[in-house]
């Protein structure tokens, strides 16, 4: 009895320790890498703790608690609430449907030929559906963009693909290896830049790259050479021998990107690689990403910047509430969703008549030559029109405006298609914000 009483506090102590280890979110420290990878690193931690315990009885208590908490954890996962998934929405975009059909039609024997295939990938956090049955493929030398505002489900998608979060339903295959059943093989083929830098603050940039290179199984000389090239191309070579805690947020993102690109993996996941990076440095990161795809490696990139996706992605999708709402090349999306053109006219200053009269002449001209033009803005001789007729040919529009230049006081003008940014805003206005 007395022995049982003596066991209770220590068992409770260990149980609490395991519970915290599994459930607390990763803190912002150098320990973070281990914590974000806790499912992989747990056996190492447990072994170290076990070896430090001397008394046989304490070791026994420790083992009982480790086994019990691991069992409890897997039991908790298995009883995860998974509400029934809704049927495929009937209003789903045709391109998204085509991609879904294509991904789901790839049979087991052909999966090996594809870099990445996701089939009905789904993530529930309790009852919150974060990723809703997404299916897509990523080819070699393709940069596939997941574009969406906060809470759209981009990071959850990566976490499932990296085995950091369980997959609620569906599966994904990296060069034929299932994420659900062969996550170790999957890791060998992916370079990953997580959204929040998971790097050791005490190491220098060079040591960090060396460490991750060795973990990847690269030779030392190769790592040294690649680290230099990557630091140079990404623009942090002058900080290479500084400790990471001295790095700015932008330089940490560059280092994380370098870690992802370091191995010669055929697939690279970049979760918001340029968040916090200044505009000039952003371009350096973009060039590095372009070089990666040119070298025949597939990249999946998340971003909230349409400009970034337009610059880098061969195909992109806009993700809202865990679903894809459109998918295709940037130009395809522009053609499909652009709802007309923007016409900007700059008036020339002329002595012959007052400015207001000249502006009226231009307004009459535009109204009589375009279908239902809408004056969006008028400011100091600058007129911005929205032209809703998307069927009008470019040549016709330019011919009209060239004629206008001859008959009105116009210094300059420009006609532009609706931007991808406008398309993005149109889709993302439906993103839920209640659970972010
Ligand atoms: N660990 C978590 N536990 C519970 N809910 C989460 C967790 N991580 C993300 N979520 C929720 O899942 C949804 C998608 O989040 P996330 O994948 O981080 O989106 P994004 O990367 O596009 O900003 C959000 O509603 C978010 O609140
Ligand atoms: Mg995210």
pLDDT of res. 292: 95
Q: Which protein residue has the closest C-alpha to ligand 1 atom 18?
A: 155
Q: Can you tell me the distance from the alpha carbon of 222 to that of 216, in angstroms, rounded to the nearest whole number?
A: 12
Q: Which residue has the tokens 């290896």?
A: 177
Cβ atoms < 10 Å from Cβ of 348: 13
Nearest atom of ligand 1 to the alpha carbon of 319: 22
Ligand closest to the CA atom of residue 147: 1
Specify whether the CB–CB gap between 262 and 230 falls below 8 A.
yes
Whether the predicted pLDDT of 229 surpasses 90? yes
Ligand nearest 132 Cα, by number? 1
C-beta separation of 249 from 278 below 8 A? no
| Angle, CA 155 vertex, CA 45 and CA 249 arms, to 5° | 80
Q: pLDDT tens for residues 292-337?
A: 999 999 999 999 888 899 999 999 999 999 999 999 999 999 888 8
Residue 164 is predicted with a pLDDT of: 92
Provide the token pair at 33.
Answer: 């890498």
Q: Which residues of 77-102 are buried (b: 16+ CB within 10 A; e: fewer)?
A: eeeeeeeeeeeeeeeebebbeebbee
If you measure from the C-alpha of residue 123 to the centroid of ligand 2, how many angstroms do you get, rounded to a whole number? 14
pLDDT at 37 over 70: no
pLDDT (0 to 100) of residue 356? 84
**Radius of gyration, alpha carbons of the chain:** 28
The answer to whether the beta carbons of residues 26 and 35 sit under 8 Å apart is yes
Q: What superfamily would CATH give domain 339-417?
A: ACT-like. Chain A, domain 2 (3.30.70.1150)
Lowest mean pLDDT among 81-90, 233-242, 371-380: 81-90
Q: How far is the CA of 351 from the centre of ligand 2 (A)?
A: 56
pLDDT of residue 216: 86
Whole-number Å distance between alpha carbons of 61 and 406: 92
Question: In testing the pocket of ligand 1, which one of 128, 270, 272, 302 has its CB within 8 Å of the most ligand atoms?
Answer: 128
| Distances in whole angstroms, Cα of residue 347 to Cα of each of 358, 372, 380, 384 | 8, 21, 9, 11
pLDDT tens by residue, 381-417: 889 888 888 889 999 999 999 999 998 889 999 998 8
For residue 134, the cross-strand partners are: 121
What length is written for the chain?
Answer: 436
CATH code assigned to 94-189+265-335:
3.40.50.300
Centre of ligand 1 from the C-alpha of residue 129, in Å:
9
What residue ranges line ligand 1, CB within 6 angstroms?
Answer: 125, 128, 130, 148, 150-156, 435-436
Ligand 1 atom nearest to CA at 271: 21
pLDDT of residue 35: 46
Residue of 151, 269, 434 best suited for mutating to test ligand 1, as the one with most atoms within 8 Å of CB: 151
Integer Cα distance of 211 and 246 in angstroms: 19
Q: Which of 80, 125, 161 to mutate to test the pocket of ligand 1 (most atoms within 8 A of CB)?
A: 125
231 closest CA partner among 301, 223, 216, 268:
223
pLDDT for the residue 428: 83
pLDDT over threshold 90, residue 143: yes
What does the DSSP assignment read for 297-342?
A: -EEEEEES-HHHHHHH-SEEEEEETTEEEEEE-HHHHHHHH---EE
pLDDT of residue 81: 46
Place of tokens 């956090």: 125
Average pLDDT over residues 46-55: 64
Distance 68 CA to ligand 2 centre (A): 33
Query: How many of the other CB atoms lie within 10 Å of CB of 378?
Result: 14
Q: Are 347 and 358 in contact (CB under 8 A)?
A: yes
- Work out the number of other CB atoms within 10 angstroms of the CB of residue 47: 11
Which ligand is the nearest neighbour of the Cα of 131? 1
Question: Ligand 2 centroid vs 433 CA: distance in angstroms?
Answer: 14
Task: Read off the tokens for 398.
Answer: 């330019």
Mean pLDDT of the chain: 84
Strands 143-147 and 298-303: parallel
Q: Does residue 57 or residue 201 have the better pLDDT?
A: 201
264 compared with 22, residue with greater pLDDT: 264
Of the two residues 269 and 18, the one the predictor is more confident about is 269
- Taking CA atoms only, the protein residue closest to ligand 1 atom 6 is 125
C-alpha 368, offset from chain centre = 46
SS3 assignment, position 197: coil
Closest Cα to residue 275, out of 308, 317, 323?
A: 308
Residue nearest to ligand 1 atom 8, measured at CA: 156
Q: Which ligand is nearest to the CA of 157?
A: 1
CATH 3.40.50.300 residue ranges for the chain: 94-189+265-335
- 264-300 b/e with 16+ CB inside 10 Å = b? ebbbbbbbbbbbebeeebbebbbebbeebbeeebbbb
- Closest ligand 1 atom number to CA of residue 157: 17
Distance 123 CA to ligand 1 centre (A): 9
341 φ, ψ (degrees, to nearest 5): -130, 160
**195 C-alpha to center of ligand 2: Å?**
6
Quick check: 144 and 300 in contact, CB under 8 A? yes
**Among 21-35, 96-110, 173-187, 360-374, the least confident range:** 21-35
Cβ atoms of 300 and 269 closer than 8 Å: yes
Tell me the C-alpha to C-alpha distance, in Å, between residue 176 and each of 102, 114, 173.
16, 7, 5
Q: How far is the CA of 146 from the centre of ligand 2 (A)?
A: 10
Nearest atom (ligand 1) to Cα of 436: 27
Which DSSP helix (H) or strand (E) runs through 394?
helix 394-407
């Amino acid at each position: 009895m007395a022995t049982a009483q003596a066991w209770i506090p220590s068992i409770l102590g260990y149980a609490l320790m395991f519970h915290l280890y599994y459930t607390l979110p990763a803190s912002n420290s150098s320990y973070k890498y281990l914590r974000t990878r806790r499912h992989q690193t747990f056996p190492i931690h447990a072994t170290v703790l076990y070896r430090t315990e001397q008394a046989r009885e304490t070791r026994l208590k420790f083992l009982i608690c480790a086994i019990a908490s691991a069992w409890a954890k897997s039991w908790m996962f298995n009883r995860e609430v998974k509400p029934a998934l809704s049927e495929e929405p009937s209003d789903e975009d045709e391109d998204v449907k085509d991609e879904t059909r294509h991904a789901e039609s790839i049979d087991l024997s052909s999966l090996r030929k594809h870099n990445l295939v996701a089939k009905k990938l789904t993530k529930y956090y309790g009852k919150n559906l974060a990723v809703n049955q997404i299916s897509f493929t990523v080819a070699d030398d393709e940069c596939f963009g997941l574009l969406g505002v906060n809470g759209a489900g981009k990071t959850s998608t990566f976490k499932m693909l990296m085995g950091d979060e369980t997959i609620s339903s569906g599966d994904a295959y990296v060069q034929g290896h299932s994420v659900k059943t062969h996550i170790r093989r999957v890791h060998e083929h992916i370079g990953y830049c997580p959204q929040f830098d998971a790097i050791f603050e005490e190491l220098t940039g060079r040591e960090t790259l060396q460490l991750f290179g060795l973990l990847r199984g690269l030779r030392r000389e190769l790592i040294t050479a690649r680290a230099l090239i990557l630091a140079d191309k990404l623009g942090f070579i002058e900080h290479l021998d500084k400790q990471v805690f001295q790095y700015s947020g932008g330089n940490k993102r560059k280092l994380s990107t370098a870690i992802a690109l370091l191995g010669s993996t055929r697939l690279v996941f970049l979760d918001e690689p340029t968040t916090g990076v200044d505009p000039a440095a952003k371009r350096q990161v973009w060039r590095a990403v372009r070089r990666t795809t040119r070298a025949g490696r597939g990249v999946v990139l998340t971003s909230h910047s349409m400009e970034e996706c337009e610059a880098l992605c061969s195909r992109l999708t806009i993700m809202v509430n865990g679903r894809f709402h459109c998918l295709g090349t940037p130009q395809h999306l522009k053609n499909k969703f652009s709802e007309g053109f923007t016409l900007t006219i700059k008036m020339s200053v002329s002595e012959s008549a007052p400015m207001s009269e000249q502006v009226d002449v231009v307004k009459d001209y535009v109204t009589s030559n375009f279908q239902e033009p809408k004056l969006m803005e008028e400011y100091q001789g600058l007129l911005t029109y929205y032209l809703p007729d998307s069927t009008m040919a470019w040549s016709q529009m330019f011919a009209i405006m060239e004629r206008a230049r001859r008959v009105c006081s116009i210094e300059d003008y420009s006609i532009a298609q609706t931007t991808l940014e406008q398309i993005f805003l149109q889709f993302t206005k439906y993103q839920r914000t209640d659970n972010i």
